[in-house]
Homo-oligomer: A and B are copies of this chain.
Amino acid sequence: VPRRGLSFDPIAEAERQWRVHGWEDVAPAMAVVTSVMRAQQIFLGRIDALLRPLNLTFARYELLMLLLFSRRGSLPLGKIGERLQVQPASVTNAVDRLEDGGFVRRVPHPTDGRATLAELTPAGRRTAAQATKLVNDAFAAIGLQEQELTVLFDLLRKVRAGAGDFQP
């Protein structure tokens, strides 16, 4: 997305405004929240654009990779939502699309009549590998050094843990 860049950083400018208006104490946190929002928008836009030709989105790609890394190439939908930290409705939606694309099959759970498994098809396996090549290029293009990535990850991990996302 070659949207023309601004001649200044709008988030830095917003932080300045917060300070000017007497909220110096929360200005840095505000800037961080806004930066996270914007970074997410950038990442998602890039990756979704890359994956579009494969009939995938980042959300569906994550689901595909989770299945690929699973022992049997299949998982109950509930387990998927738990791992991906999304609502059941989102899992249903993503699996619907993946099934339409022929990447996944719904299979009844062998022992629990309430549950459904999403199972990778051979096409799903192939496409996951193909998509990973594309996505890896996008990851590499982030432009941070190994150590910076580690610091960034650790800080965000602290944020997530603080929000009760998992037991640290």
Partner of A36, one of B2, B21, B36, B141: B36
- How far is the CB of A5 from the nearest CB of chain B, in Å? 5
Q: Are B149 and A32 in contact (CB under 8 A)?
A: yes
Residue of A23, A29, A135, A155 most packed against chain B (CB within 10 A): A29
Quick one: given A37-B40, A83-B10, are A162 and B143 in contact (CB under 8 Å)?
yes
Residues of chain B lying within 8 A (CB to CB) of residue A140: 25-26, 29
Contacts of A41 in B (CB 8 A): 85
A12-53 interface (Cβ within 8 A of B): 12-14, 17, 20-21, 23, 25-26, 28-44, 46-47
Task: Kindly identify, within residues 123 to 168 of chain A, every residue whose CB is under 8 Å from any CB belonging to chain B.
Answer: 132, 135-136, 139-144, 146, 148-153, 155-168
CB-defined A-B contacts under 8 Å, sample of 27: A5-B164, A7-B167, A9-B165, A10-B82, A12-B157, A21-B69, A26-B139, A29-B142, A33-B43, A33-B139, A35-B152, A35-B157, A36-B43, A37-B44, A37-B58, A38-B156, A38-B160, A39-B156, A39-B160, A40-B40, A42-B160, A46-B163, A143-B158, A143-B159, A143-B162, A144-B159, A155-B155
If A20-B69, A33-B47, A42-B165 are given as contacts, then 13 extra A-B residue pairs at C-beta distance below 8 Å, sorted by A number, are: A9-B157, A9-B166, A23-B136, A25-B140, A28-B153, A32-B156, A35-B156, A35-B157, A36-B40, A37-B43, A38-B156, A39-B159, A151-B151
